[in-house]
Amino acid sequence: MTDHATIYEVGPRDGLQMAKATMPTATKLRWIDAMAAAGVAHMEVGSFVSPRHVPQMADTADVVGHTVAIAGLETIALVPNETGARLAYAAGCRSLVIPVSVSETHSRSNINKGTYEQVAEVARLVAWLRAQDEPVLVETACATAFGCSFEGAVPERRVVEVATALLQAGADRVSLADTVGYAAPNAIRSLVRATRAAAGGAFQKLHLHDTMGLGLANVLAGLDVDVRHFDASLAGLGGCPFAPGASGNIVTEDLVFLLESMGLRTGIDLEALVATRAFLREGLAGEPLHGSVGRAGIPRTFRAAA
Protein backbone atom coordinates (compact mmCIF):
# COMPACT_ATOMS: atom_id res chain seq x y z
CA MET A 1 0.00 0.00 0.00
CA THR A 2 1.31 3.44 -0.90
CA ASP A 3 1.43 5.99 1.90
CA HIS A 4 -0.86 8.60 0.36
CA ALA A 5 -4.31 9.02 -1.14
CA THR A 6 -5.86 11.86 -3.13
CA ILE A 7 -9.27 13.33 -2.36
CA TYR A 8 -11.23 15.33 -4.92
CA GLU A 9 -13.79 17.59 -3.25
CA VAL A 10 -16.97 17.71 -5.34
CA GLY A 11 -19.23 19.58 -2.92
CA PRO A 12 -19.26 22.91 -4.78
CA ARG A 13 -20.61 21.08 -7.84
CA ASP A 14 -22.20 17.74 -6.99
CA GLY A 15 -23.18 18.82 -3.50
CA LEU A 16 -24.76 22.15 -4.33
CA GLN A 17 -26.61 20.98 -7.43
CA MET A 18 -29.02 19.03 -5.21
CA ALA A 19 -29.46 21.68 -2.51
CA LYS A 20 -32.91 23.22 -2.19
CA ALA A 21 -31.42 26.68 -1.77
CA THR A 22 -28.84 28.41 -3.94
CA MET A 23 -25.69 29.33 -2.03
CA PRO A 24 -24.72 32.98 -2.57
CA THR A 25 -21.61 33.28 -4.70
CA ALA A 26 -19.70 35.23 -2.06
CA THR A 27 -20.34 32.52 0.53
CA LYS A 28 -19.39 29.82 -1.97
CA LEU A 29 -16.06 31.50 -2.67
CA ARG A 30 -15.25 31.87 1.02
CA TRP A 31 -16.12 28.19 1.52
CA ILE A 32 -13.86 27.12 -1.34
CA ASP A 33 -11.06 29.34 -0.04
CA ALA A 34 -11.36 27.76 3.40
CA MET A 35 -11.27 24.22 2.04
CA ALA A 36 -8.21 25.04 -0.06
CA ALA A 37 -6.54 26.52 3.02
CA ALA A 38 -7.31 23.26 4.86
CA GLY A 39 -5.28 21.38 2.25
CA VAL A 40 -7.88 20.34 -0.33
CA ALA A 41 -5.82 20.43 -3.52
CA HIS A 42 -8.34 19.15 -6.08
CA MET A 43 -11.83 20.59 -6.30
CA GLU A 44 -14.77 20.28 -8.68
CA VAL A 45 -16.06 23.83 -8.32
CA GLY A 46 -19.07 23.83 -10.66
CA SER A 47 -20.62 22.72 -13.91
CA PHE A 48 -21.22 24.53 -17.18
CA VAL A 49 -24.82 23.50 -17.66
CA SER A 50 -28.06 25.34 -18.37
CA PRO A 51 -28.90 27.59 -15.38
CA ARG A 52 -32.53 27.00 -16.26
CA HIS A 53 -32.14 23.32 -15.34
CA VAL A 54 -29.53 23.69 -12.56
CA PRO A 55 -29.77 27.25 -11.22
CA GLN A 56 -27.28 26.50 -8.44
CA MET A 57 -24.54 26.42 -11.10
CA ALA A 58 -25.34 29.74 -12.77
CA ASP A 59 -22.24 31.39 -11.29
CA THR A 60 -19.74 28.72 -12.35
CA ALA A 61 -17.75 31.00 -14.67
CA ASP A 62 -17.27 33.50 -11.84
CA VAL A 63 -16.30 30.72 -9.44
CA VAL A 64 -13.74 29.34 -11.89
CA GLY A 65 -12.30 32.80 -12.43
CA HIS A 66 -11.73 33.04 -8.68
CA THR A 67 -10.42 29.55 -8.01
CA VAL A 68 -7.86 29.34 -10.82
CA ALA A 69 -5.92 32.01 -8.94
CA ILE A 70 -5.68 29.91 -5.74
CA ALA A 71 -2.13 28.59 -5.45
CA GLY A 72 -1.90 24.80 -5.28
CA LEU A 73 -5.55 24.16 -6.19
CA GLU A 74 -6.60 22.17 -9.25
CA THR A 75 -9.84 23.76 -10.47
CA ILE A 76 -12.11 21.18 -12.08
CA ALA A 77 -15.43 21.73 -13.83
CA LEU A 78 -18.04 19.34 -15.16
CA VAL A 79 -19.16 19.83 -18.76
CA PRO A 80 -21.81 17.73 -20.53
CA ASN A 81 -21.08 18.84 -24.09
CA GLU A 82 -18.91 20.94 -26.40
CA THR A 83 -20.80 24.11 -25.51
CA GLY A 84 -19.95 23.59 -21.86
CA ALA A 85 -16.33 22.86 -22.75
CA ARG A 86 -16.03 26.09 -24.69
CA LEU A 87 -17.45 28.07 -21.77
CA ALA A 88 -15.13 26.30 -19.32
CA TYR A 89 -12.08 26.96 -21.46
CA ALA A 90 -13.00 30.62 -21.86
CA ALA A 91 -13.37 30.91 -18.08
CA GLY A 92 -9.85 29.54 -17.59
CA CYS A 93 -10.59 25.98 -16.46
CA ARG A 94 -8.03 23.44 -17.64
CA SER A 95 -9.35 20.26 -15.96
CA LEU A 96 -12.71 18.96 -17.13
CA VAL A 97 -14.95 16.05 -16.21
CA ILE A 98 -17.47 14.77 -18.77
CA PRO A 99 -20.20 12.45 -17.48
CA VAL A 100 -21.18 9.50 -19.63
CA SER A 101 -23.93 7.23 -18.30
CA VAL A 102 -23.36 3.56 -18.95
CA SER A 103 -27.08 3.01 -18.45
CA GLU A 104 -28.92 4.03 -21.62
CA THR A 105 -32.03 5.08 -19.69
CA HIS A 106 -30.12 7.22 -17.22
CA SER A 107 -28.16 8.79 -20.06
CA ARG A 108 -31.34 9.93 -21.78
CA SER A 109 -32.80 11.17 -18.50
CA ASN A 110 -29.62 13.05 -17.61
CA ILE A 111 -28.58 14.64 -20.90
CA ASN A 112 -31.23 13.55 -23.42
CA LYS A 113 -28.70 11.47 -25.36
CA GLY A 114 -27.92 7.79 -25.52
CA THR A 115 -24.66 6.43 -24.14
CA TYR A 116 -22.83 6.17 -27.44
CA GLU A 117 -24.24 9.47 -28.65
CA GLN A 118 -22.47 10.97 -25.64
CA VAL A 119 -19.29 9.08 -26.49
CA ALA A 120 -19.43 10.76 -29.91
CA GLU A 121 -19.93 14.10 -28.15
CA VAL A 122 -16.78 13.42 -26.12
CA ALA A 123 -14.85 12.85 -29.36
CA ARG A 124 -16.06 16.18 -30.77
CA LEU A 125 -15.33 17.97 -27.51
CA VAL A 126 -11.82 16.54 -27.24
CA ALA A 127 -11.07 17.41 -30.87
CA TRP A 128 -12.02 21.04 -30.17
CA LEU A 129 -9.98 21.18 -26.97
CA ARG A 130 -6.88 19.72 -28.61
CA ALA A 131 -6.99 22.52 -31.18
CA GLN A 132 -6.72 25.20 -28.48
CA ASP A 133 -3.53 26.89 -27.37
CA GLU A 134 -3.43 25.52 -23.81
CA PRO A 135 -3.63 21.85 -22.80
CA VAL A 136 -6.72 20.63 -20.98
CA LEU A 137 -7.01 17.45 -18.90
CA VAL A 138 -10.16 15.52 -19.85
CA GLU A 139 -11.59 12.95 -17.47
CA THR A 140 -14.65 10.96 -18.46
CA ALA A 141 -16.78 9.61 -15.63
CA CYS A 142 -18.65 6.38 -16.30
CA ALA A 143 -21.88 7.12 -14.43
CA THR A 144 -24.18 4.34 -13.15
CA ALA A 145 -21.24 1.95 -13.46
CA PHE A 146 -22.46 -0.10 -10.50
CA GLY A 147 -26.20 0.00 -11.06
CA CYS A 148 -29.06 2.22 -12.19
CA SER A 149 -32.30 3.22 -10.49
CA PHE A 150 -34.06 2.85 -13.87
CA GLU A 151 -32.49 -0.33 -15.26
CA GLY A 152 -31.17 -2.10 -12.19
CA ALA A 153 -27.99 -4.10 -12.74
CA VAL A 154 -25.52 -2.76 -15.29
CA PRO A 155 -23.38 -5.49 -16.91
CA GLU A 156 -19.69 -5.24 -16.10
CA ARG A 157 -18.85 -5.95 -19.73
CA ARG A 158 -20.81 -2.89 -20.87
CA VAL A 159 -18.98 -0.65 -18.39
CA VAL A 160 -15.63 -1.80 -19.71
CA GLU A 161 -16.76 -1.35 -23.32
CA VAL A 162 -17.92 2.23 -22.62
CA ALA A 163 -14.70 3.05 -20.74
CA THR A 164 -12.64 1.73 -23.64
CA ALA A 165 -14.70 3.70 -26.16
CA LEU A 166 -14.15 6.90 -24.16
CA LEU A 167 -10.40 6.47 -24.20
CA GLN A 168 -10.55 5.78 -27.92
CA ALA A 169 -12.52 9.04 -28.24
CA GLY A 170 -9.52 10.87 -26.82
CA ALA A 171 -10.18 11.18 -23.09
CA ASP A 172 -7.08 11.28 -20.89
CA ARG A 173 -8.68 9.43 -17.98
CA VAL A 174 -11.72 7.38 -17.15
CA SER A 175 -13.28 7.04 -13.70
CA LEU A 176 -16.04 4.83 -12.29
CA ALA A 177 -19.05 6.42 -10.61
CA ASP A 178 -21.52 4.67 -8.32
CA THR A 179 -24.06 7.35 -9.18
CA VAL A 180 -26.97 5.91 -7.21
CA GLY A 181 -24.95 4.21 -4.47
CA TYR A 182 -25.88 0.61 -5.20
CA ALA A 183 -22.37 -0.88 -5.16
CA ALA A 184 -21.09 -3.38 -2.62
CA PRO A 185 -17.40 -4.09 -1.97
CA ASN A 186 -17.24 -7.22 -4.11
CA ALA A 187 -18.59 -5.28 -7.10
CA ILE A 188 -16.05 -2.50 -6.51
CA ARG A 189 -13.13 -4.92 -6.54
CA SER A 190 -14.37 -6.82 -9.59
CA LEU A 191 -15.15 -3.81 -11.77
CA VAL A 192 -11.98 -1.96 -10.85
CA ARG A 193 -9.91 -4.97 -11.87
CA ALA A 194 -11.81 -5.34 -15.15
CA THR A 195 -11.58 -1.64 -15.99
CA ARG A 196 -7.90 -1.42 -15.15
CA ALA A 197 -7.20 -4.46 -17.32
CA ALA A 198 -8.71 -2.57 -20.26
CA ALA A 199 -7.71 1.01 -19.43
CA GLY A 200 -4.40 0.60 -17.60
CA GLY A 201 -3.16 3.76 -15.92
CA ALA A 202 -5.92 5.84 -17.54
CA PHE A 203 -8.19 4.53 -14.78
CA GLN A 204 -7.51 6.11 -11.38
CA LYS A 205 -10.59 7.22 -9.49
CA LEU A 206 -13.82 6.16 -7.82
CA HIS A 207 -16.85 8.40 -7.28
CA LEU A 208 -18.97 6.84 -4.54
CA HIS A 209 -22.34 7.57 -2.97
CA ASP A 210 -23.66 6.38 0.39
CA THR A 211 -27.26 5.53 -0.52
CA MET A 212 -27.09 2.07 1.03
CA GLY A 213 -24.64 2.96 3.80
CA LEU A 214 -21.71 1.22 2.09
CA GLY A 215 -19.75 4.26 0.93
CA LEU A 216 -16.72 3.88 3.19
CA ALA A 217 -16.83 0.09 2.92
CA ASN A 218 -16.51 0.61 -0.82
CA VAL A 219 -13.54 2.92 -0.25
CA LEU A 220 -11.85 0.08 1.63
CA ALA A 221 -12.64 -2.26 -1.25
CA GLY A 222 -11.08 0.26 -3.62
CA LEU A 223 -7.98 0.45 -1.47
CA ASP A 224 -7.78 -3.36 -1.62
CA VAL A 225 -7.32 -3.12 -5.40
CA ASP A 226 -4.91 -0.16 -5.28
CA VAL A 227 -7.30 2.74 -5.93
CA ARG A 228 -5.90 5.86 -4.28
CA HIS A 229 -8.09 8.59 -5.80
CA PHE A 230 -11.60 9.27 -4.48
CA ASP A 231 -14.32 11.88 -4.94
CA ALA A 232 -16.12 13.08 -1.81
CA SER A 233 -18.37 15.93 -0.71
CA LEU A 234 -18.20 17.97 2.48
CA ALA A 235 -21.03 16.96 4.84
CA GLY A 236 -22.11 14.30 2.33
CA LEU A 237 -24.08 16.73 0.21
CA GLY A 238 -25.11 15.79 -3.28
CA GLY A 239 -26.73 13.22 -5.47
CA CYS A 240 -28.05 13.09 -9.00
CA PRO A 241 -31.16 15.14 -9.85
CA PHE A 242 -31.89 12.83 -12.78
CA ALA A 243 -31.64 9.50 -10.92
CA PRO A 244 -34.50 8.77 -8.51
CA GLY A 245 -33.31 7.66 -5.08
CA ALA A 246 -29.73 8.82 -5.44
CA SER A 247 -28.60 10.26 -2.12
CA GLY A 248 -25.46 12.05 -1.06
CA ASN A 249 -21.80 11.47 -1.78
CA ILE A 250 -19.44 9.94 0.72
CA VAL A 251 -18.51 12.47 3.40
CA THR A 252 -15.16 14.17 2.88
CA GLU A 253 -14.50 14.59 6.60
CA ASP A 254 -15.19 10.92 7.30
CA LEU A 255 -13.04 9.88 4.34
CA VAL A 256 -10.10 11.97 5.59
CA PHE A 257 -10.51 10.42 9.05
CA LEU A 258 -10.54 6.91 7.59
CA LEU A 259 -7.56 7.35 5.31
CA GLU A 260 -5.37 9.22 7.79
CA SER A 261 -6.21 6.70 10.53
CA MET A 262 -4.98 3.96 8.19
CA GLY A 263 -1.67 5.76 7.66
CA LEU A 264 -2.52 7.22 4.25
CA ARG A 265 -1.56 10.88 3.97
CA THR A 266 -4.18 13.12 2.34
CA GLY A 267 -2.53 16.50 2.91
CA ILE A 268 -5.77 17.74 4.50
CA ASP A 269 -6.02 19.23 7.98
CA LEU A 270 -9.09 17.47 9.36
CA GLU A 271 -9.86 20.03 12.07
CA ALA A 272 -9.67 22.90 9.59
CA LEU A 273 -11.81 20.96 7.12
CA VAL A 274 -14.54 20.28 9.68
CA ALA A 275 -14.61 23.99 10.48
CA THR A 276 -15.60 24.75 6.88
CA ARG A 277 -19.01 23.18 7.53
CA ALA A 278 -19.90 26.58 8.99
CA PHE A 279 -20.15 27.94 5.46
CA LEU A 280 -22.77 25.33 4.62
CA ARG A 281 -24.83 26.31 7.64
CA GLU A 282 -24.52 29.94 6.57
CA GLY A 283 -25.20 29.52 2.87
CA LEU A 284 -27.65 26.59 2.93
CA ALA A 285 -29.79 27.23 5.98
CA GLY A 286 -31.83 24.15 6.84
CA GLU A 287 -29.97 21.79 4.49
CA PRO A 288 -29.21 18.48 6.28
CA LEU A 289 -25.49 18.01 6.93
CA HIS A 290 -24.22 14.46 7.24
CA GLY A 291 -21.13 12.75 8.59
CA SER A 292 -19.97 10.99 11.72
CA VAL A 293 -16.97 13.27 12.29
CA GLY A 294 -19.14 16.35 11.95
CA ARG A 295 -21.66 14.92 14.41
CA ALA A 296 -19.35 13.38 17.02
CA GLY A 297 -16.25 15.52 16.64
CA ILE A 298 -12.68 14.38 16.08
CA PRO A 299 -11.77 11.81 18.73
CA ARG A 300 -8.79 12.45 20.99
CA THR A 301 -7.26 9.20 19.72
CA PHE A 302 -7.00 10.51 16.16
CA ARG A 303 -3.50 10.95 14.77
CA ALA A 304 -2.92 12.18 11.25
CA ALA A 305 -0.68 10.02 9.08
CA ALA A 306 2.97 10.98 9.41
Q: Give yes or no for a contact between 204 and 171, defined as CB atoms under 8 angstroms apart.
A: no
Strands 74-78 and 95-101: parallel
240 is catalytic: yes
Residues 45 and 31: their CA atoms lie apart, in Å, by 11
CA nearest to 231, candidates 2, 3, 4, 11: 11
Helix (H) or strand (E) holding 247: none
Residues 98 and 125: their CA atoms lie apart, in Å, by 10
Instruction: Give the angle subtended at the CA of 290 by the CAs of 289 and 292, to the nearest 5°.
Output: 135
Residues 74 and 231: their CA atoms lie apart, in Å, by 14
Catalytic residue among 93, 142, 148, 240: 240
Residues 274 and 147: their CA atoms lie apart, in Å, by 31
Residues 219 and 2: their CA atoms lie apart, in Å, by 15
Furthest-apart CA atoms within the chain: distance in Å: 53
Q: Which residues are catalytic?
A: 240
